[in-house]
Amino acid sequence: MPVAAVNQAQLNTLKAQISSTKKELDLAEAALKSKGDQINNVDSNIADQDLLKAESEYRAAVNKSQLHSYTSMITGKAVAQVTEAEVKNLEK
């Protein structure tokens, strides 16, 4: 029957490393949970508001664009209905 000979100093070192690693794991899991909670609490309305603002600014820029105005006259469409492809064709 084999007998395991364990050095007590080595055993204590391994126990200390295991304990330290468990503490690091607990800290990492707590940080992960905290970040997960932060992600769940992010307000999607802010992104929606930014998108609406960008679309509004784009429409305003299109309405002021001479190329879009010329293209709308040639195609017989409203400025807002002119596509980018139609503007590119006019540029050519």
Span of 1-5, 56-60, 66-70, 71-75 with lowest mean pLDDT: 1-5
Is-contact 79 59, C-beta < 8 A? no
> Are 65 and 48 in contact, with CB atoms under 8 Å apart?
no
- pLDDT tens, residue by residue, 6-60: 788 888 888 999 999 999 999 999 999 998 888 777 777 787 888 999 999 988 8
**Nearest-5° angle of CA 81, CA 85, CA 88?**
115
Q: Sketch the domain layout of the chain as residue ranges.
A: 7-42, 44-92
Distance CA 50, CA 47 (A): 5
Hunting for tokens 């949970």 — which residue is that? 33
Structure tokens at 50: 């930014």
Read off the pTM.
Answer: 0.43
